[in-house]
Structure 1
Amino acid sequence: MSRIALITGATSGIGKATAEAFAEAGIDLILCGRRQEKLESVVAELSDKVKLTTLLFDVRNKKAVFDAISSLPEEWKNIDILVNNAGNAHGLGTLDEGDTEDWDSMIDGNVKGLLYVSKAIIPTLIANGKGHIVNISSVAGKQTYINGAVYCASKAAVEVLSEGMRLELTQHGIKVTNVAPGAVETEFSLVRFKGDEEKAEKVYQGFDPLQASDIADMILYAVNAPARVTIADVTILAAAQSAATTIYRK
């Protein structure tokens, strides 16, 4: 019987790449996102490989999260894998000059959104006595950098929540994997710089950045590891990157 995975932020970047990798592996998919047309596009791309359904919601909206997940038909309720991928960076600046709306977006999405989705699904995993939660953190959750304190704090929270989940859920046969990517060439910087393509492109110039598929490969490996193995925490950096903001460019 095929496993079922629910992926948040499945319309682009790491989430979409993970959906593609899971589909190739025969894992049925619940794709979650905020953009209906993007969800439909991913479904059209992958529907010949596995069974798919979609949920349209913003992880920052608590009611929308619980309403959407509770609306799943019976055949989709027994979720085996949860990938908490949704989240973003907004703005780059010092604390005294930071935009509080940017702070709210990051904390609400990266932290509270992850909690809402997890709370909606964990009872099913516990009842089934098995499952796997993959949380997408960041190298920024392990090393704070200037002008990014709130984003770093939100991703450090993901690190702590991953550890807390592992402490609480291992006894129920549930694995928890924390994945901390470094510089991945996705829409991340475009969102952070509010659509400024020139600024976003400079982030990835002069070196070969990670691709979303690199992170998806790691996630697939983690969820396919033998029953005796838990990939608890992994940091993935570009070859030219040695720390959160240390990148050797040509």
Structure 2
Amino acid sequence: MELVAIQINAGSDWEANRSRLAGLLLQLPSQRPLLVLLPENVAVFGCKNAIQQAAEPLGDGPIQDQFSQWARDHGIWLVVGSMPTRIEGSARFHATSLVYNELGERVAYYHKLHLFDVDVSDEQGRYRESDSYAPGEELCVVDSPFGRLGLSICYDLRFPQVYSELRAKGADILLVPAAFTRVTGQAHWQPLLQARAIENQCYVLAAGLYGEQGARQTWGHSMIISPWGEIERCLPKGEGLISTPIDTERLADIRRQMPVAQHARFSAVRRNK
């Protein structure tokens, strides 16, 4: 069983992004089963007009059909980091992560909980995701051949409570698709990812956008991190993919030898037992 993170420089044109993704998917390892994570905003990344044009009702639309077809054609579990989905009666959208199995069936989805409304010392300066998006309300953990997958998106990474709750719900692999800015990514991306892996004794599979999208600069540095906090693979720059086998026996050994979930005095894991 292999974990794969794909890194891409996505823009506001879905057709251009689709062409680049199709080429990257042809580079996948031959092993199966394969879990493939795409970055946040992988369908479109741009202004509100681009988001409006690409947004689809959850479960219905040509962009979602394409992701389903790719999962089926390549025989992979495919996790779309995020794409905009419509909210009935609202001018805003959800940033939605979609999980497809190897048959192309959508088996789970997750609406991003935490919206990036911050000021950053880069060329764009001001980020207000809440202008276009509404926050989700629920966590999601889904069964898979690789273990239980805990879903999150980008800015969620700064909220450790999210991941302790995912661990309490049985997560073995924490998925972190992202479009971290270059400034915040250089400062915090790697230590946050390693902390979430170590705290929760989970694999972390993180796929990032990379490059320049107008005034915005994204950090890349897609990573796969072990439950012990080791960086097993990293792609600092450019487009491409990284992969590594998942070692379920080592995951179990780490949790058995240092049972932090059982030792925690103030813990979501303890509350849910």
Q: Give TM-score scaled by structure 1 length.
A: 0.39
The structure where strand makes up a greater share of residues is: 2
